[in-house]
Amino acid sequence: MSFFFNQVIIGIQLGSQYVLVALGLTLIFGILDISHFAHGHMYMIGAYLLYIIVVRGGVNYWLALVVCMAALAVAGVVVERAVYRPLRGQPQINTFIAAIGLILFLEALVRGIQPKALSVPKPIDKNLNFLGTSMEVQRLIVIIGAIFFIVLLQLFIKKTRMGTAIEAMAQDREGAALVGISVNRMSALTFAVATALAAVAAVLMAPLAFVSPEMGSVLILKAFVIVVIGGLGSMKGAIVGGYLLGILEALAIAYVSSAYKDVFAFGVLIIILAIRPTGLFGGRDAV
Amino acid sequence: MKKYGKAGFYLLLLAGAVVLPLLLNMSKKGKYQIITLTLAMVWAIATLSLNLVLGYTGQASLAHGAFLGIGAYTFAIFVERVGLNFWLALPLTCLFTAFLGALVGLPSLRTKGPYFAIVTLCFNVIVFKVFENWKWLSGGLQGQKVTIPSYLSEYWARYYVVLAFLILVLLIERQIVKSLLGSTFIAIRSNENLAEAVGIGSFRNKLLSFTVSCFLVGLAGALFAMVKGSVDSTVTNYLYSFYILIYLLIGGAATLAGPVVGAVGLYYLLDRIKSIGEFRYLAFGLILIVVIIYLPRGIVGGARQLWDWGKRQYNKREEVPE
């Protein structure tokens, strides 16, 4: 029983990073209609930035978290400005292809500078005994940190003016423009928030996994799976879907096979989309 | 007169492609260059297949890397493990990938736009993982050897075989595009709802386009296996789907020359700058972004636009004195 419990905790921790990345993606994809396929690679850039700041620069981990978030928020705005804004109003497939260009660019950039996988030390390198199982403290940091930022995002969307403007745009873009919400400013803001969330996921997860140039590519596909299943633009869907996928994956690794774990996740997506082409919970139609 | 000029231009190109190996054979590194060009033409066939489904029908398939790999493996297994004749294995491989394409297309073509791209990419990741982990199927790390007939053992013989198939594929695609079917595909790409409204069964035609496309990419896979002499699990990598997509878009989607220009040109160019390592893909990504923003119809589409513009300007000047 304690083995099973342990796997569920690992699943929640895996799910935490999925939720953080999928939330950013559902903001960008669901609200701005931009299939930002390079979101996982922004996450990868965040992890490398953490490595530079913490290992090379010797800066405190928690301070690095804030720096990474700020830096990636800026990077997100730059990407929106340079790549996606010139493509606004064009067929969505063009945006998707530009995102693939961005992926190739970012991955080649990092691989060209540092091809080897790196590791980041844990800020608190201890194990905790918890209900008869031993648990790394970093896993608990991931879980609690993710919950903290998810709540923070909800507060931002629901309680602040800027957040309300984002939500207004999600509901009706023309209507939002009519009442004086600037689409340009809001898409820059959405990119900043979403990419900062990816940075959070990267900083929390980096001490538990290796930092490598391709770490973002499978993650982003999973985030897309979550967003599609959870419904476009639905934050609740992204949260539930993310944790669910994490737990299912941890159990699949423990009880079935770790080599084929991605096959299950993507197979489920194909089956769901075959039955319901617009996602499980309806969501908006993607055209 | 104009018609003959066009035909003459094509004949000149063909003659150039036929004579090129003879010229290259005289240079020191000629053999390597010919093999590179042969592979580039294989990629051109793969790009032409994607052109049918993305360029003309408007469905961005990211599973073509998987189908290329499946084609290569099917061919290798037919030749090596079943013991079929080379020329029998080739069409059977194409039929098999077409059949598989229809099976994959049935559920995935129900989705639209980026959803279709994501579903097909997921399929590609699944295929890649299966080939990576299932050693019996993929032959593990050293891969699966492919024995080819002795008369194809010379590298220049393979060059001409691939060239012949490239021309065949070009002619087939031209026939499709000029026919009513081609117009049907283009109608679906332009406006699927409108196409439905005027009585075009969009799903059926999309499935047909995808199946034919998989047939052609299966051929590319088989030729890939023939040229390389062995296949391993990396041929199913989803990066290849991205590369084919890039060749197509930079060359020019929805043109016949674009895929050939994009694939042969870029593959050859990337091979020449191999020495700078990973950084060449950096340029790849940047070019892709710039092309999609400023030149959404690719090199060939852009050149054609420029040509038409120049012709209009020229005609205008002629008309003024009258």
For chains A and B, CB pairs below 8 A equal: 130
Mark yes or no for CB contact B125/A262 under 8 Å.
yes
Mark yes or no for CB contact A274/B282 under 8 Å.
no
Look up residue B153 and give its two tokens.
Answer: 């053992």
Greatest mean pLDDT among A231-245, B126-140, B159-173: B159-173
Residue B18, in any domain of the structure:
no
* A6/A13 Cα distance (integer angstroms): 11
pLDDT of A87 above 50: yes
Greatest mean pLDDT among A77-86, A121-130, A269-278, B114-123: A77-86
Residue B6, in any domain of the structure:
no
pLDDT of A88 above 90: no
A1 falls in which pLDDT band (50, 70, 90)? Answer: low
Residue B302, in any domain of the structure:
yes
| pTM score | 0.86
pLDDT of B25 above 70: yes
**B chain contacts of residue A36, beta-carbon cutoff 8 Å:** none
Picking from B123, B282, B293, the nearest residue to A270 by CB comes out as B123
B145 falls in which pLDDT band (50, 70, 90)? Answer: confident
Nearest one of A193, A156, A196 to A67, comparing CA atoms = A196
What residue spans define the domains of chain A?
Answer: 2-122+133-275
Question: Any idea what the Cα angle at residue B170 is, between residues B198 and B249, rounded to 5°?
Answer: 75
Burial of B87 (C-beta count, 10 Å sphere; 0-12/13-18/19+): exposed
Find the domain containing B256 and state its range. Answer: 27-319
Local structure of residue A118 (DSSP, 8 states): B
Picking from A107, A260, A277, the nearest residue to B115 by CB comes out as A277
Mark yes or no for CB contact B110/A224 under 8 Å.
no
Neighbouring CB atoms inside 10 A of A11's CB total 22
Question: Any idea what the Cα angle at residue B188 is, between residues B58 and A86, rounded to 5°?
Answer: 45
Interface residue of B191, B282, B291, B294 to substitute, partner A, most A CBs within 10 Å: B282
Neighbouring CB atoms inside 10 A of A118's CB total 15
pLDDT of B73 above 90: yes
**In this structure, CATH architecture of domain A2-122+133-275:** Orthogonal Bundle (1.10)
Cβ atoms of B191 and B31 within 8 Å: the answer is: no
Mean pLDDT of B50-61: 91
* A278/B114 Cα distance (integer angstroms): 11
* Nearest CA-CA distance, residue A232 and chain B, Å: 11
* Nearest CA-CA distance, residue B118 and chain A, Å: 8
The complex scores an ipTM of 0.82
**B chain contacts of residue A287, beta-carbon cutoff 8 Å:** 112-113
**pLDDT of B3:** 66
**B chain contacts of residue A97, beta-carbon cutoff 8 Å:** 60, 245, 249, 288, 292
Write out pLDDT tens, residues A143-166: 889 999 999 998 998 889 888 888
Specify the 3-state DSSP secondary structure of A70. helix
CATH assignment of the domain containing B132: 1.10.3470
Look up residue B221 and give its two tokens.
Answer: 């896979």
Mark yes or no for CB contact B293/A87 under 8 Å.
yes
Q: Which of B57-66, B136-145, B204-213 has the lowest mean pLDDT?
A: B136-145
pLDDT of B315 above 60: yes
Domain count, chain B: 1
Mark yes or no for CB contact B129/A263 under 8 Å.
yes
Mark yes or no for CB contact A262/B107 under 8 Å.
no
Residue B14, in any domain of the structure:
no
**pLDDT of B1:** 53
Look up residue A90 and give its two tokens.
Answer: 């064009």
* Nearest CA-CA distance, residue A260 and chain B, Å: 7
A280 falls in which pLDDT band (50, 70, 90)? Answer: low
